[in-house]
Chain A
Amino acid sequence: MVDWLAAMLVCAGFVWAGWPWAKAIPPVEPPVAASLALSYLAGTALVSLAILGEALLGLPINRLTLLLAFLVVRRMHISAKPLGTVAPVAGRFTNWTAALLGITALAMGYAMVQAVRLGSIESTDFLKAWGLKGLALAEDHNLDFDHITSPNTFYPLELSNVHGAVLIVTGDRNDAVLRLPDALFGVALAVTMWWLLRRIAPPTAAAAALALTVLPPEFTRQMTSGLADVALAAYVTVCVLAAYLWLLDGTARWASLSGFAGGAAAWTKLEGALTCLVILAAVLLIRRAVRTPGAGTWVLWFAVFTVPWQIFQRLHSIPANRSHFNSLHLDLPWIAKHVSSTLIVASHWGLFWPLCITLILVTAPVWLKTDVRLLAALVLPNLILTLLAYVTHYRGDQASSVTATADRLYLHLAPSVAALAVICAFQAFEGKAWSRPVWTVRARADDRLEPTRQL
């Protein structure tokens, strides 16, 4: 019981440390629930990064320095004020909306119950990487993993540092409590996704996208598995949706949120770096300009999370992934066949992937004429490029390897694919394009809100 209270305290600490950042990074001030969710995402990313900073300085990571990491993150926030507000897309909040939000809340509640109920964690990658490195941090009070003799030491550290932080505070090895911070990434994803989607789509569409995201058994299962995929999904989803708002807006306003999430995704899992760089490339291609307003901010945020870890790896001779890129598997039809046959296994994803792909394809004649094609340009390339992971994976030609990994490998793309599919369907159903987000700029003198042009 004490361990659970300590884990809750650490999670509350992440929210506390991330709170000012959640207010400062987005160009608009999110409502309380979204602020809490964003605070959790910002707090976990930045406190885990601060732990790396302490390790770079040679400090031992113990309760005192952990507290220092929380304090530094809380105090060091950028002092940007929200530029204004963006009204949610107009639409009625119907019984359908309420029902779909109810389903989402039920799925999240179930995952939280599982987090408390399931006990210690036995997932292979938790024992090999995300849990092991957290345990090593808590036991050894440093991030020197040379003695672990693991091929996974090059994995980014956000989740393992979060695990380590919880174990340092609890003071023992009860890893059952680590399911709590992991599950909260899923809850934070759902809440943040709702907030961002409401700036893009009417209430029922946003609620349907949310329900579609959280209903696959794989999603709720991975929320408590001790692995990094749901955390990665949270950051990638924020990166995509903020990038879409960035494109719709035409200014640099949403770039910092997209870049922050992109950097945090890269700090969570290697796939996050590649996925979010593809999103940035899509933005630059759509804008047809490398010097797109906001691109510098995006890259800066990305560097904040990736450069320190690269430096640390060089200083501590942590080898890069040696097994990847050793061999090439160019039989793309074979890879596509095995990945798709894995993704249609009902006990993992239900009908999620066939459903989403069908909706996107069937409605293409409609959405290709609307702004939704910009969202498609941000989401669909990663769907295809993720297949390429198996081209260079050392076991990419083994059916058992593909079957064992494809479910998780696509999880971080699932929320944005769900959002795209549902928005495509609703756009087709309503038959007309939704209005673009309307900005209301905050006046400096008296803090009044003044409506501005519709972009």
Chain B
Amino acid sequence: MRVVAAVAMAVLVAGLAAQSLFFLRESFDQATTSGKHPLRAFLERVDAVVPAGASFAAPSSRVSDAARYILYPRPRLMPAYTKSGLQKAGVQYVIVTPGARPPALVGRQPWYTVVLTTPQGRVLKILHG
């Protein structure tokens, strides 16, 4: 039993010392990392160009979830990302990001206008009627 006790205490002391080092390393990494969030910064710009009450959609589920929070209380819709799908669903604005770009929303089309272009993505205003 004495061996068990000695081993346990040695493991605990060594473990706590190692954990302290992990803590210091990670804290240093976290403290030196920039607090800026690129997606959030982009969506805050989107917030400025999309009118209050306008509905929006985003093909990327991550962007869509984040936009639902930043653009709240504007209604988020989840349409098919085609001309007819977007118009039928009544989507007014679409947030397109490089990671999720449906073919119908590439480049410029006569049924939408681009209201914001940034390296993080574009905001399209869907023309209805």
- A122 in contact with B40 (CB, 8 Å): yes
A-B contact pairs, 29 of them (CB 8 A): A110-B27, A122-B37, A122-B39, A122-B66, A126-B69, A127-B66, A128-B68, A131-B69, A132-B72, A139-B73, A147-B73, A149-B76, A150-B68, A208-B16, A212-B16, A215-B20, A217-B26, A351-B15, A355-B11, A355-B15, A359-B12, A362-B7, A362-B8, A366-B4, A366-B5, A422-B12, A428-B5, A430-B5, A431-B5
Of B1, B11, B15, B70, the most chain A CB neighbours within 10 A belong to B15
Q: What residues of B have a CB within 8 angstroms of the CB of A217 in the complex? A: 22-23, 26-27, 30
In the complex, how many angstroms separate the beta carbon of A188 from the nearest chain B beta carbon?
20
- Knowing A114-B30, A135-B72, A217-B26, the reply to whether A350 touches B18 (Cβ < 8 A) is yes
Is A429 a contact partner of B16 (Cβ separation < 8 A)?
no
Which residues of chain A are near B40, meaning CB under 8 Å?
Answer: 120, 122
- B 26-80 contacts with A by CB, 8 A: 26-27, 30-31, 35-37, 39-40, 62, 65-66, 68-70, 72-73, 75-76, 78
Contacts of B30 in A (CB 8 A): 114, 217, 221
Query: Which residues from chain B contact A38 at a C-beta distance below 8 Å?
Result: none
Are A429 and B37 interface neighbours, CB within 8 A?
no
Flag if A351 contacts B12 (CB, 8 Å): no
- Residues on the A chain within 8 Å of B11, using CB: 355, 358-359, 362, 425
Least Cβ distance of B77 to chain A in Å? 9
* Smallest CB separation, A31 vs chain B (Å): 26
B19 at the interface (CB under 8 A from A): yes
Q: Which residues of B contact A335 (CB under 8 A)?
A: none
Is A211's CB within 8 Å of the partner chain B?
yes
Cβ-closest chain B residue relative to A347: B26
With A128-B65, A212-B19 as contacts: A118 and B35 at CB distance below 8 Å? yes
B20's partner among A103, A149, A220, A347 (CB-CB below 8 A) is A103
Judge if B9 is at the interface, Cβ distance under 8 Å. yes
Give B18's nearest chain A residue, CB to CB.
Answer: A351
Please determine whether A148 and B68 come into contact, CB atoms closer than 8 angstroms: yes
Q: Which residues of A contact B26 (CB under 8 A)?
A: 217, 221, 347
Q: Given A139-B72, A366-B5, A428-B1 in contact, is the A120-B37 Cβ separation under 8 Å?
A: yes
What does the 1/0 interface line of B87-128 toward A look like (CB < 8 Å)?
000000000000000000000000000000000000000000
Question: Taking each of A126, A363, A366, which has the highest tally of chain B beta carbons within 10 Å of its own beta carbon?
Answer: A363
Q: Is the CB of A425 within 8 A of B16?
A: no
Q: Scan A86-116; emit 1 where CB is below 8 A from any B CB, else 0.
A: 0000000000000010010001001000100
A-B contact count (CB 8 A): 123
Main secondary structure of the interface of A (DSSP, over half): helix
* A424-B72 CB under 8 A given contacts A216-B19, A352-B19: no
Kindly list chain B residues whose C-beta atoms are within 8 Å of the C-beta of A358: 11
- Beyond A351-B15, A365-B4, A428-B8: 14 further Cβ-contacts under 8 Å? A103-B20, A110-B27, A120-B40, A122-B39, A122-B66, A148-B68, A211-B16, A221-B30, A350-B23, A355-B18, A359-B8, A359-B15, A428-B1, A431-B5
Cβ contact within 8 Å between B62 and A119: no
Q: Shortest Cβ distance from A222 into chain B, in angstroms?
A: 12
Residues of B in contact, count (CB < 8 Å): 37
The 6 closest A-B pairs by CB, nearest first: A350-B22, A217-B26, A355-B15, A215-B19, A425-B8, A127-B69
A9, CB-defined interface residue at 8 Å: no
- Whether a CB of chain B sits under 8 angstroms from the CB of A172 is no
> Which B residues are in CB contact (< 8 Å) with A375?
none
Q: Please, which residues of chain A bring their CB within 8 A of the CB of B4?
A: 362-363, 365-366, 428
Across the interface, B78 reaches (CB within 8 A) one of A119, A149, A363, A424, namely A149
- In chain A between 108 and 157, which residues have their CB closer than 8 angstroms to a CB of chain B? 110, 114, 117-120, 122, 124, 126-128, 131-132, 135-136, 139-140, 147-150
Cβ of B69 and Cβ of A429 under 8 Å apart? no
Query: Which residues does chain A contribute within 8 Å of B31, judged by CB atoms?
Result: 114
Question: CA–CA, A139 to B8, complex, Å?
Answer: 54
List, in ascending order, chain A residues with CB within 8 A of B15's CB. 212, 351, 355, 359
A346 interface hit (Cβ, 8 Å) = yes
**Residues of chain A lying within 8 A (CB to CB) of residue B12:** 208, 355, 359, 421-422, 425
Does B1 lie within 8 Å of A135, measured CB to CB? no
- Residues in B with CB closer than 8 Å to A131 are 69
Find chain B residues with CB under 8 A from A103 CB: 20
**B-facing residues in A412-430 (Cβ within 8 Å):** 421-422, 424-425, 428-430
In the complex, the answer to whether A132 meets B23 with C-beta atoms within 8 Å is no
Docked-complex contact A365 and B18, CB < 8 angstroms: no
CA–CA, A212 and B19, complex, Å: 8
Contact (A107, B16) CB under 8 Å given A355-B11, A366-B4, A429-B8: no
Tell me whether A127 and B16 are in contact in the complex, defined as CB-CB below 8 angstroms, given that A350-B23, A428-B5 are known contacts. Answer: no
